[in-house]
Chains A and B, each alone.
Chain A
């Protein structure tokens, strides 16, 4: 359980990062390391160089930016969780972060690290999907933005290419929106057995826009569009909750019959609970 040999480079600027990643195709970005270092200890990951990006100031901002909350990639999860700005602008993020590992993990783990690692049972990718976040990415040819729906491409796979750096995640600040994050894990602090991030925008009593995303129930974060459709344009009633939960299915996921039945039942229960929380 000791890491294989690698070199360590401390980047001071995003330019440093890009240069180091371009120079060595086996180089890998290191942020808090809370997912990467365990993988190194198991020798599952074998980078030639780790590029530490936590000293790059440009990645450390947390600010309101034209209708968006922008969270720099290396903002520690604990800092985001406790940020008043996050609490007021995007409370769903704080609700979800409370479920990420334990306090010892969140103190070092970063928002960007969790998104870029794309664990199929991680909380933040589901939040990004539910809020329609945009991922800001810097590469050799400059900056580009990737919608969350295109960013997550499978277990531990994202749209980032090897020479690119995740700079920030931009979450839209939604008016008249109520959110809930409901998770079931076997033990306190574990990755989700299943979790649902819900963000419902209301026009009076009517749900004008419903966003539901799940994690822990497949190869990555999942939008639950059929359930969303059931909710949109109607008041959020107990009947609507039941109907939306009933739409949940996991056909595309690689489960055996027993696991599929369990995960589906679990997800339906979690969808219903998240919506009831929104109702309250």
Chain B
């Protein structure tokens, strides 16, 4: 049967639009697979405890924490990392808004914020309170969040705080 326990497992996923095949130890974390096996170092490991959100990627379009997901758990799923967003060399409107609003300092947490925002529907977050609640799954130690909220507001076409 297919359900045989294995120490090394086949890994199949579509990363940033390209099919990825191979194998990995059963225990390999998705964040390590992306960084070490695929060289996608834009996804950062900040805590490996599922708290800080620096490792956020999209799995099938939904924001997810790659530090508490095993590579083995995926089977043909679409994984999107920060590298895919500006593949054409242009910043996305959200990235541009972050730059204009000075919404990043050291930048370590930034890809996680950008990926969370890339995977949600702005209509679900109609005001500043709900934007802040959404962002509360990503920790930033540099900015105090004020400029990040301003950047989100700008990118989502909201002119004033509400």
Binding site for B on A (CB under 8 A): 1-12, 16, 19-20, 24, 27, 30, 33-34, 37-38, 40-42, 48-52, 54-55, 78, 101-105, 107-108, 187-189
Q: Are A16 and B68 in contact (CB under 8 A)?
A: no
Known: A11-B3, A38-B49, A103-B134. A108 touches B27 (CB 8 A): no
Q: Are A41 and B68 in contact (CB under 8 A)?
A: yes
Complex CA distance for A71 and B88, rounded to whole angstroms: 43
Which of A30, A51, A55 is B75 in contact with, Cβ under 8 Å? A55
Complex CA distance for A143 and B137, rounded to whole angstroms: 38
Q: Are A187 and B136 in contact (CB under 8 A)?
A: yes
Closest partner residue, chain B, to A41 (CB atom):
B48
When distances are taken between beta carbons in the complex, the residues of chain B under 8 Å from A38 are 48-50, 68
Known: A2-B29, A8-B9, A41-B67. A104 touches B3 (CB 8 A): no
Q: Are B50 and A105 in contact (CB under 8 A)?
A: yes
Q: Are A107 and B73 in contact (CB under 8 A)?
A: no
Closest partner residue, chain A, to B61 (CB atom):
A107
Q: How far is the CB of B80 from chain A (nearest CB, A)?
A: 13
Q: Are A33 and B59 in contact (CB under 8 A)?
A: no
List 16 additional contacts besides A6-B26, A8-B70, A41-B49; criterion CB under 8 Å.
A1-B47, A9-B5, A10-B75, A11-B3, A37-B68, A37-B70, A41-B68, A50-B26, A102-B53, A103-B137, A104-B56, A104-B64, A107-B59, A107-B62, A108-B65, A188-B133
When distances are taken between beta carbons in the complex, the residues of chain B under 8 Å from A37 are 29, 50, 68-70
When distances are taken between beta carbons in the complex, the residues of chain B under 8 Å from A27 are 5
Interface size classification for chain B: 35 or more
Q: How far is the CB of A181 from chain B (nearest CB, A)?
A: 16
Q: Are A4 and B3 in contact (CB under 8 A)?
A: no
Q: Are A7 and B5 in contact (CB under 8 A)?
A: yes
Complex CA distance for A38 and B136, rounded to whole angstroms: 19
Q: Are A33 and B62 in contact (CB under 8 A)?
A: no
**CB proximity to A under 8 Å, residues B24-61:** 25-27, 29, 32, 47-50, 53, 56, 59
Known: A102-B137, A103-B116. A1 touches B49 (CB 8 A): yes
